[in-house]
Amino acid sequence: MAWRDSRKNRARLLLFISSIILGVAALVAINSFRENLKKDIDRQAKTVIGADLVLSNNQPISDSIEWLLDSIGGQRAHERSFASMIYFPRTHDTRLVQIRALDGAFPFYGDIETEPQSASSQFRVGQKALVDHTLLLQFNANPGDSVKIGNLSFYIEGRIKKLPGQNGIAATVAPPVYIPLKYLNQTGLQQKGSRIRYRYYIKLPAQTEVEKLVKNIRPRLKSEGIGIRTVASTKNNLGDAFDNLSEFLNLVAFVALLLGCVGVASAVHIYVKEKLATVAVLRCLGLQGIQALMIYLIQIIVMGFIGALIGAVAGSLIQTTLPFVLKDFLPIEIDLAISWPSIFQGIGIGIFISLLFALIPLLKILKVSPLLTLRASFESTADKGDRINWVVYMLITAFIYLFAFLQMGSWLDALFFCLGLGVSFLLLTGVARLIMWVVRKYFPVSWSFIWRQGLANLYRPNNQTLILIISVGLGTALITTLYFTQNLLLDKVSLSSIGNQPNMVMFDIQSNQKAALNKLTAEYKLPIIQEAPIVTMRLTNVNGQTKSQIEKDSLNDIPRWAFNREYRVTYRDYLIDSEKTAEGEWKGKVARAGDPIYISVDKGYAERMKVGIGDTLTFNVQGALLDTYISHLREIEWNRVQTNFLVLFPKGVLEDAPQFHVIMTRTEQQNVSASFQQAVVRNFPNVSVIDLGLILSTIDEILNKVSFVIQFMAMFSILTGFFVLISSVILSKYQRIQESVLLRTIGANRNQIMKITALEYFLLGSLASVTGIVIALVSSWLLAYFSFDTSFTPNLLPILGIYVIITTLTIIIGILNSTGILSKPPLEVLRREV
Amino acid sequence: MLAVKNLTKTYKSGNRALTVLDDISFEINRGDTFAIVGPSGSGKTTLLGLCAGLDRATSGSVVLNNILLDRLNEDERAFVRNQHVGFIFQNFQLIPTLTALENVMVPLELRGERNIKERSLKLLERVGLGDRKHHYPAQLSGGEQQRVSLARAFSNEPKILFADEPTGNLDEETSEKVVKLIFDLNREAGTTLVMVTHDMDLAGKTQRIIRIKGGKLISDNILAPTGGN
């Protein structure tokens, strides 16, 4: 019966289900990709770190650790890396890069991919360098040219195509340049106070149980502040990073699916309405309510299966585009394969959720009275407060909650996700109902027929107000929130380049170079906007307690990172523009050696550390322990272009400690900037120059890549929104057709019907998009306030743009849909459709 | 009032051409009542639709109130219908989303006329449904719906009324009431009436009956004297 009943409606049934295709496709694509990525991470983890074990620190390993490593055996490679300027003599260009001075056969697993291929081994045997290929492109340099690093020139042996474990984004920030370690000293870049990262790559003897070994040596290594990476920890880190990303993308896909399901529910609602007469006839002939329900349930399951299947196939195809979309974030090569579990999961979720949503309108069928055959009435099928309905609603809520929980892994986050969705639904429903009530109550009886007809269509029987406002509104809310969030992130990092703010930072300046560099800056007529000495140190005690004592104290929740990080501290006796006293008094000076040292810390840092005025912090300054007292808290504007410091020391303490200096200046002209940078690199090879313009464009580039990924996923929701919109409008044709044809019969012209239709869809599109935008504004504000800790001032123009686009699309789809009817003679349509 | 000349209508069904009306000609004078009878599938409703400008003929011509319909586009024919024609259908064809009163008002609204509520309400009262003006079609019985459609048909003071099996969906008692209303209103307004029916008693109430079978006109009987142009 289900088969026979569907004969005349299959195309329409498929239309219902089309709404879920994209949602399922997105889910299958993301899950398949995640599955393949996991497999590839397992397979390639060794080549990602290039060794079995990597140790790293900001100082060379001690003799005792050296002995420890000797006792382990295996092969070892050693790398020292730091940021520095390089200079291309041929073009006189300079750029901040990541110098990696390498000794040994790293990588032990995988390769440094170079061009020519032999370069990865050849550069190790002479005064040669491997240079990142985008850097070479940028400065129009080639293998065979030379590059100056510090005091030494290197022959460019080849271009680096891919490094083990490095993704595109990392290379954008600081492009890598490899040189042999034995030439590092001659470059003159390794000086006291230089910020060098020391890495030791170890290939363990075969049959070594890595994890067991690491467990044994970890306490020794940790006591010296040495970081440890193993293949297993890399797998976990990579897996975690991509789990977070794919969970987010999965939620976006799920929202697309939910949106599709709203479409399914609305379509089935209309379908059921039209089928009530058929059901009544069947009921007259003795069909039971449950049997009638089964007829339509089977139709929906079959169509849901077809829709989900098409979605799964599309998802598997879309998956092949994801490596392209995510290529800048991937540290490994992805081998794409069909992921059957993801396909089955996608199809299962697709069928289940479309069935759940279809059940709400389908349950009406249970209640159809055979009396309907004799007399149609409005109230005959009303089933308000029906318990089964509530069960279905609860099932839907439970399913959404469970799915969100599985993606987010937190009951609370899942609850917020569901609450957000629920509130949006309620708000949209509320707006729809309010509009219907207001239009009916204050109906403008004196307006022209077309206006009244268009307005009245909002509340008359068979109106689409509720369903279109929910589907279009939710789609708009989602798209707009994504847009606002993206801008929030962009605004947060777009450091102001206006006014007299610095746009060039020079760092790693030795104390004895400071005066000469200041002089050089003055020669170029550039202002010195800020200069600061920087001393690096580590925190050892908080209120007399060491890290290990705090870790054992369950009541003390000072975060561990406070001890693990390196502090770059400055000293002065005044506050700068970007700082404001939040609490306490800034003393600024220590008069005599041995006097108490009163320091100032960032207010936010103090809150996270759970310390305040009067607490003591002990720092290890290159071996010397300094006890300090917090006497002052500062509020710092972190997004200003300044060198800002969590910890500020008074004068009279750190002057003799190993230190380097930072100088900030500003230059308007690019050519001055370039020639000044060249002069700095020529005269002070160890000094690094950061061109903030370059950094800003780099950040912009990264964010563009991130937002591309987000937009790519949001596209599924947007397209689903349009699918729902199109199918809602097409389905409504079956309702509106009779009205339009009758109007046509009694003399309405094409223009009048067009105007009525356009007006109705204009009102629906406007209401839906405005409500959606309001929801997006509220949720973006909440995100800005609670998640990004920033203020949110929306730009009016894009809002207007979104409104115009959504509304226009709604009108266009509505009108396109009616033109088919209008071009046919009324009699033909009357006989066929009515 | 209405002149039909050599009217032929052919539908394409796959590769086959199906002739529904074959070379039909007749003329009706202003104010006449006229019935088209014939068995199911004989082409009665198609003929009515062509006469009223609801469809285009394959060949032949229809002149309605001195307007040659064949040359008009759909919008121009809609204008003619709105100005000169009233309709009554077997299945009432009220607009389901409009109330009884709104349904009656629609033809006048489409003309852009103002202050039409009173007139429409009067018509609704004339058919005995003044108290059901705010009811939607689904809330009315078949007879009531047909009476609303009658009020609508006369609301634009048509020159010609086309009725397609107006009692086909009604019981005997209701049919009688509706038929009486049709003829009374018709007489009061001096409208020409063209009615399709297979009820010979009803057809007998008109002045002239044409009979069609298989798309061909097989007889034309004048039962009572008709007017002249």
Sequential DSSP letters for A613-652: TT-EEEEEETTEEEEEEEEEEEEE-TTSSS---SEEEPBT
User: Where does the pLDDT of residue A789 fall: very low under 50, low under 70, confident under 90, or very high at 90 and above?
Assistant: low
Nearest CA in chain B to A738: B95
DSSP A262-290: HHHHHHHHHHHHHHHHHHHHHHHTT--HH
Out of A378, A746, A826, closest to residue B139 by CB? A378
Strands (E), B56-182: 59-64, 67-68, 85-88, 160-164
Which residue has better confidence, A503 or A216?
A216
The distance of Cα A438 from the centroid of its chain, to the nearest Å, equals 41
- Spatial contact of A750 and A824, defined as CB atoms under 8 Å apart: no
Phi and psi torsions of A72, nearest 5°: -75, -35
DSSP A668-686: --HHHHHHHHHHHHHH-TT
Residues of B in contact with A457 (CB under 8 A): 97
DSSP A295-351: HHHHHHHHHHHHHHHHHHHHHHHHHTTHHHHTGGG-SS-------HHHHHHHHHHHH
DSSP state for residue A204 in the 8-state scheme: P
DSSP state for residue A378 in the 8-state scheme: S
Q: What tens digit of pLDDT does each residue of A55-84 get?
A: 988 888 888 888 988 888 889 999 999 888
The residues near A469 (Cβ < 8 Å, ≥ 6 apart) are: A428, A429, A431, A432, A435, A764, A767, A768, A771
Mean pLDDT over A381-394 rounds to 69
Out of A742, A749, A825, closest to residue B95 by CB? A742
Measure in Å the smallest separation between the Cα of B222 and chain A Cα atoms: 29
Out of A457, A744, A830, closest to residue B78 by CB? A744
Residue A710: what pLDDT? 66
Q: What is the largest CA-CA distance in chain B?
A: 54
Q: What tens digit of pLDDT does each residue of A611-634 get?
A: 899 999 999 987 889 999 999 999
Q: How far apart are CA A451 and CA A454, in angstroms?
A: 5
Measure in Å the smallest separation between the Cα of A373 and chain B Cα atoms: 13
Residue B181: what pLDDT? 87
Domains of chain B by start residue, with CATH: 30-57+73-222 (3.40.50.300)
Return the percentage of chain A with pLDDT > 90, whole number: 13
Out of A739, A828, A830, closest to residue B95 by CB? A739
Mean pLDDT over A190-201 rounds to 79
The residues near A595 (Cβ < 8 Å, ≥ 6 apart) are: none
Residues in chain A, how many?
834
Residue A497 has pLDDT above 70, yes or no: no
Residue A740 has pLDDT above 90, yes or no: no
Q: Do B138 and A747 touch (CB under 8 A)?
A: no
Identity of residue A677: Q
Measure in Å the smallest separation between the Cα of A736 and chain B Cα atoms: 9
Measure in Å the smallest separation between the Cα of B54 and chain A Cα atoms: 5
- Spatial contact of A630 and A596, defined as CB atoms under 8 Å apart: no
What is residue B52's three-state secondary structure? Answer: coil
Residue A35 has pLDDT above 50, yes or no: yes
Question: What is the 3-class SS of A398-448, one letter each residue?
Answer: HHHHHHHHHHHCCHHHHHHHHHHHHHHHHHHHHHHHHHHHHHHHCCCCCCC
Structural tokens at position B2: 């209405």
Q: Computed over its alpha carbons, how large is the radius of gyration of chain A?
A: 34
Which residue has better confidence, A667 or A177?
A177
Structural tokens at position A734: 């079956």
Residue A463 has pLDDT above 90, yes or no: no
Mean pLDDT over A296-307 rounds to 86
> In B, what residues contact A, Cβ < 8 A?
45-46, 49-50, 54-56, 74-75, 78-83, 85, 87, 91, 93-98, 106-107, 109-112, 136, 138-139, 141, 152, 156
Phi and psi torsions of A826, nearest 5°: -55, -40
Q: Do A747 and B87 touch (CB under 8 A)?
A: no
- Residue A446, chain B, CB below 8 Å: the answer is no
> In this predicted structure, which of A6-15, A301-310, A353-362, A571-580 has the lowest mean pLDDT?
A6-15
Residues of B in contact with A828 (CB under 8 A): 55
Q: What tens digit of pLDDT does each residue of A686-701 get?
A: 788 877 776 666 666 6
What is residue A102's three-state secondary structure? Answer: strand
User: Where does the pLDDT of residue A528 fall: very low under 50, low under 70, confident under 90, or very high at 90 and above?
Assistant: confident
Q: For an interface test with B, which of A273, A371, A380, A745 has the most B Cβ atoms less than 10 Å from its Cβ?
A: A745
Domain spans, chain A: 1-48+240-409, 49-236, 424-498+693-834, 528-665
Residues of B in contact with A456 (CB under 8 A): 97-98
What Å distances lie between residue A551 and A25, A556, A622, B82, CA to CA?
47, 8, 24, 89
Q: How far apart are CA B156 and CA A251, in angstroms?
A: 58
Structural tokens at position A203: 């290939």
- Residue A745, chain B, CB below 8 Å: the answer is yes
Out of A463, A748, A826, closest to residue B54 by CB? A826
Place of tokens 């396109």: A816
Residue A374 has pLDDT above 60, yes or no: no
Phi and psi torsions of B37, nearest 5°: -120, 165
Out of B45, B55, B79, closest to residue A747 by CB? B79
Mean pLDDT over A558-574 rounds to 84
Residues of B in contact with A453 (CB under 8 A): 109
What is residue A224's three-state secondary structure? Answer: coil
Residue B59: what pLDDT? 92
Q: Do B54 and A376 touch (CB under 8 A)?
A: no
Nearest CA in chain A to B52: A745
Out of A377, A461, A748, closest to residue B78 by CB? A748
What is residue A469's three-state secondary structure? Answer: helix
Q: What tens digit of pLDDT does each residue of A199-230 get?
A: 999 998 888 888 888 888 888 888 777 888 88
Residues of B in contact with A463 (CB under 8 A): 97
Residue A702 has pLDDT above 80, yes or no: no
> In this predicted structure, which of A414-418, A485-489, B34-38 has the lowest mean pLDDT?
A485-489
Q: What tens digit of pLDDT does each residue of B64-111 get?
A: 999 998 888 878 888 888 889 998 888 888 877 788 998 899 888 888
Out of B55, B78, B98, closest to residue A828 by CB? B55
Structural tokens at position A352: 């289940």
Residues of B in contact with A754 (CB under 8 A): none
Residue A66: what pLDDT? 87
Return the percentage of chain A with pLDDT > 70, whole number: 84
Nearest CA in chain B to A451: B109
> In this predicted structure, which of A309-323, A467-481, A589-603 has the lowest mean pLDDT?
A467-481
Nearest CA in chain A to B95: A739
Q: Which residues lie across from B160 on neighbouring strands?
A: B85, B192
Q: For an interface test with A, which of B95, B102, B116 has the most A Cβ atoms less than 10 Å from its Cβ?
A: B95
Phi and psi torsions of B21, nearest 5°: -130, 135
Which residue has better confidence, A615 or A682?
A615
Q: Do A751 and B95 touch (CB under 8 A)?
A: no
Q: What tens digit of pLDDT does each residue of A86-135 get?
A: 888 888 888 888 899 999 888 888 888 888 989 988 998 889 999 988 78
Residues of A in contact with B109 (CB under 8 A): 449, 453
Using 50 as the pLDDT threshold, list the residues of chain B that sit under it: 228-229
- Go through B108-140 and write b for each residue having 16 or more CB atoms within 10 A of its CB, e for each that does not: bbbeeeeebeeebbebbebbebeebbebbbebb
- Spatial contact of B166 and B178, defined as CB atoms under 8 Å apart: yes
- Spatial contact of B46 and B220, defined as CB atoms under 8 Å apart: no
Q: Do A745 and B81 touch (CB under 8 A)?
A: yes
Measure in Å the smallest separation between the Cα of B225 and chain A Cα atoms: 31
Judging by beta carbons within 10 Å of its beta carbon (0-12, 13-18, 19+), is residue B97 exposed, middle or buried? buried
Q: How far apart are CA A501 and CA A518, in angstroms?
A: 18
Measure in Å the smallest separation between the Cα of A39 and chain B Cα atoms: 57
Residues of B in contact with A447 (CB under 8 A): none
- Residue A786, chain B, CB below 8 Å: the answer is no
Q: Do A749 and B75 touch (CB under 8 A)?
A: yes
Return mean pLDDT, chain A.
81
Q: Do B97 and A826 touch (CB under 8 A)?
A: no
Q: How far apart are CA B85 and CA B64, in angstroms?
A: 9
Return mean pLDDT, chain B.
87
> In this predicted structure, which of A115-124, A244-253, A568-577, B49-58 has the lowest mean pLDDT?
A244-253
Out of A747, A823, A834, closest to residue B93 by CB? A834
In what order do the strands lie in the sheet containing B2-13? B16-28, B2-13, B59-64, B67-68
- Spatial contact of A136 and A174, defined as CB atoms under 8 Å apart: no
Q: How far apart are CA A29 and CA A339, in angstroms?
A: 9
- Spatial contact of A451 and A444, defined as CB atoms under 8 Å apart: yes
Out of B46, B96, B107, closest to residue A746 by CB? B107
Q: Do A462 and B55 touch (CB under 8 A)?
A: no
- The H or E element that residue A75 is part of is strand A75-88
- Go through A434-465 and write b for each residue having 16 or more CB atoms within 10 A of its CB, e for each that does not: ebbeebeeeeeeeeebbebbbbbbbbbeebbb
Mean pLDDT over A239-251 rounds to 71
Question: What is the 3-class SS of A746-776, one letter each residue?
Answer: CCCCHHHHHHHHHHHHHHHHHHHHHHHHHHH
Q: What tens digit of pLDDT does each residue of A426-459 get?
A: 888 898 899 889 988 887 777 778 888 888 888 8
Measure in Å the smallest separation between the Cα of A749 and chain B Cα atoms: 5
